[in-house]
Amino acid sequence: MPCRVTGLRTTLTALAASLTLLLAGCTGDSGDGADGSGRITLEFQSLAWQKESVDANKQLVAEWNELHPDIRVKYVQGSWDSVHDQLLTSFEGGEAPDIIHDASDDLADFAYGGHLADLRPYLPARLKSDIPERSWQTATFAGGVYGVPFLQEPRVLVANAKLLKESGVRVPTPAHPWTWDEFRAVTRKLSGKGRYGVAWPLKEPVSATLNLSLSAGGRLFHRGADGKVTVRFGAADAVVPRTVHDQVNTDRSASGTTLGMGGSDTLPGFFAGKYAMVPLGFSYRQQIAQQAPKGFDWQVLPAPAGADGLAQGVSPQTLSVAEDSPHKKEAARFIDFLLRPPNMVRLARGDWMLPTGAEALKDPALRTAKDDWAVGTALAAHLSPAPAQSVRGYPEWKDKVATPALQEYYSGAIGLGELRRRLVDDGNLVLARYQR
Amino acid sequence: MRTSKPARAGQYLALLAYLVFLAFPFLWLVSTAFKPPRELASLHPTWIPKDPTLDNFRQAFDEQPLLRAAGNSLLVAVSAAVIAVVIATPMAYVMARHRSFLSRAATGWVVVSQAFPFVLVIIPLFLILKNLHLINALPGLIMVYVVWALPFALWMLVGYVRAVPREMEEAAAVDGAGRLRILVSVTAPLLTPGIVATGLFAFVTAWNEFFFALVLMKSPERQTLPVILTHFLGAEGVADLGPLAAAAFLATLPSLLIFSVIQRRITGGLLAGAVK
């Protein structure tokens, strides 16, 4: 028995010693961004996730580090799935990365909360003039610029080229797109035995509806002279919702089952010829190119146009600098480097998206017919800030009012009058709370 | 009362259905991990990949530092489990053997503490750890996991201690054994299954935990496996499904291996804990 006791004690002592040693070797760094030699280290949290995109980001960081031995950039991998909570906690705790990759529609709270630096004093003239004003607006809050918009994607129609050709319908181009009425007629024509003309993946129906509604002149959110925003739902706002509703419930040219799906979920049906077209973000081409069966012929078409042409809303990806960063100037220099036209092209190709920069957009690699890059670049000039971009209270309006209302309307559970009532009456009550 | 044959067959059928239900997500994960991209996008997916490939595993290892992350997860989970058990065992003994208002209140607090959502505590916790210079440090994460696992570990162990007959300890005392000798030589061996089961619970909790690891470990060198898995996800829920499934499959293996190795002990421990 004494042996067992001694054995247990020895084991526990050894365990405690091992843990102490182990833990001593795992403590974090100081995080002040400077070492004894005066070299600065900036943390760059990137949300790139596709291999080509991660590679492009890492290569650019390596190139910067080679050129700037005194200003090292450390690549930190973030995740789209959890970036808001992670950043919020980091900001509150004063431990945010110096350079932050995010989407413009996630910046408002951080900008108003004083967590992001106003980049106006730091941005070089080259970068300011290269990105169009409409893109800058997506990251401008209360007169300050809190992010550099650098990648964006229009919503396009990805079509089964064979079915389109067989149907004999006119194939739209950016110069001559379908109208919304024409689109509805085409989807009726493309529907047939066990096949739908279109599959709307509307698991997140609000941003898709609002952004596409810009083409018909729909804005939904209207800012008054006093700066307060109210919701109005006019005839222009109804064009896109009514088209989707009627395709699903009247024409039966759109699948009702995909209304609750995400974009990726519709691809198997698209590849199997069950849906002739799917409205998707431009970057979905990467998945389609990778997953489509051999010989599957697909093509990208512009989204339908309305009274305002091909206009649609986007929330570009952005690069920001943390207000707490002691090296804002250096961080802005790195952003400038990362977004030089050739580098912006590399990032855009890695993410299968469009760059915001005018120079980068001219690059022949983004105007090729392969994978229909040219269709996307032709749409770039029509992209504007998403209507809800700077509306405070939008997330609550979206989650509590608009998402269930649009889902019910699209599924046929409520009519247009009830949709209007809920979006406007219930919606304005929500927004009012944020604007007292 | 003997169970009739049809009733017994029904029981087995229900058990089989339950096992299939439990196994389905894991088997589907395994199947997905070995499918090439084109099979993943098939409208009629099959259980057995038609053209099985290891490319998803290659890609997963190529794109993300899975081994380093697994090492971090292992270190954090094992440490948290060991520390939680070392702390919880004597506490559980006291709470089980010396019933008082204090021990009842402590049990109540343990139950209540399990109801706090992570988001409620994360910012104060972040600030405390920052002051202790334990942000982005694995010991900080281990501390959090120990604190998080401790209440439930305590709760579990109290049940196991109560299942050890007090009379055995009294008999040892009559034979002249001291308190420490009784604890180490009589009670501890009987508690071993319970300690193993509790340690395993703490291990699995820490191994799977995502939110604290995400917020507290910003350096790529210190990120744990659940955080690395989210790097296969893009905006709006788009996923690099094949490599994600491959990495997730690998992430489940340690828990499966440990469970299979000490399964008997756990079963014994659970049964012992159920005895009143």
Q: Do A51 and B59 touch (CB under 8 A)?
A: yes
B30 membership: H or E segment, kind and range: helix B5-33
Q: Tell me the torsion sign for CA atoms A163, A169, A171, A174.
A: negative
Give the pLDDT band (50/70/90) at residue B43. confident
Question: For position A25, what pLDDT does the model report?
Answer: 45
Question: For position B259, what pLDDT does the model report?
Answer: 81
Q: Tell me the torsion sign for CA atoms B164, B165, B166, B167.
A: negative
Q: Do B235 and A103 touch (CB under 8 A)?
A: yes
Task: Decide: A312 and A303 in contact? Cβ < 8 Å.
Answer: yes
Q: Do B62 and A51 touch (CB under 8 A)?
A: yes
Question: For position A17, what pLDDT does the model report?
Answer: 45
Strands A317-321 and A144-145: unpaired
Question: What mean pLDDT is predicted for residues B211-232?
Answer: 90
Nearest Cβ partner for A80 among B134, B142, B233: B233
Q: Where are the domains of chain B?
A: 1-53, 56-275
CA A326 to CA A347: how far, in whole Å? 27
Tokens 């756990």, located at residue? B266
CA B269 to CA B259: how far, in whole Å? 13
pLDDT over 90 percentage in chain A:
79
Backbone angles phi, psi at A86, to 5 degrees: -65, -45
Residues 193-252 of B with CB under 8 A from A: 211, 214-215, 218-220, 222-223, 227, 230-241
Q: Name the stretches of chain A with pLDDT < 50.
A: 1-31
Q: Which pLDDT tens digit goes with each residue over B115-167?
A: 777 777 888 888 899 889 898 899 999 999 999 899 889 888 988 898 888 88
B170 membership: H or E segment, kind and range: helix B166-174
Residues from chain A that touch B63, judged by Cβ atoms under 8 A, are 51, 54
Task: Decide: B153 and A34 in contact? Cβ < 8 Å.
Answer: no
Residues from chain A that touch B220, judged by Cβ atoms under 8 A, are 75-77
Q: Do A26 and B122 touch (CB under 8 A)?
A: no
Q: What tokens appear for B257 in the block?
A: 């291996």
| Burial letters B220-244, b for 16+ CB under 10 A, else e | bebbbbbbbbbbbbbbbebbbbbbb
Q: Which pLDDT tens digit goes with each residue over B166-202?
A: 888 888 889 888 888 888 888 888 888 889 889 998 9
CA A158 to CA A288: how far, in whole Å? 9
Question: For position B70, what pLDDT does the model report?
Answer: 95
Domains of chain A, start order: 40-152+315-379 (3.40.190.10), 155-302+393-433 (3.40.190.10)
Say yes or no: B74 contacts chain A, CB-CB below 8 A. no
N- to C-terminal Cα distance for chain B? Answer: 24
Task: Decide: B34 and B49 in contact? Cβ < 8 Å.
Answer: yes
Give the pLDDT band (50/70/90) at residue B218. confident
Q: What SS3 class is residue B262? A: coil
Q: What tokens appear for B169 in the block?
A: 């300890």
CA A337 to CA A329: how far, in whole Å? 12
Q: Which pLDDT tens digit goes with each residue over A260-293?
A: 999 999 999 999 999 999 999 999 999 999 889 9
Task: Decide: A92 and A83 in contact? Cβ < 8 Å.
Answer: no
CA A115 to CA A95: how far, in whole Å? 11
CA B200 to CA B157: how far, in whole Å? 12
Q: Which fold has domain B56-275?
A: MetI-like fold (1.10.3720)
Give the pLDDT band (50/70/90) at residue B112. confident
Q: Which residues does residue A223 pair with via DSSP β-bridges, in sequence order?
A: A229
Q: Do B233 and A23 touch (CB under 8 A)?
A: no
Q: Which pLDDT tens digit goes with each residue over A189-246?
A: 999 888 999 999 999 999 999 999 999 999 999 999 888 999 999 999 999 999 999 9
Nearest Cβ partner for B238 among A86, A264, A271: A264
CA-CA-CA-CA dihedral for B148, B154, B160, B166, to nearest 10? 170
The residue among B223, B233, B236 with the most chain A CBs within 10 A of its CB, best to mutate, is B236
Residues 6+ apart with CB under 8 A from B115: none
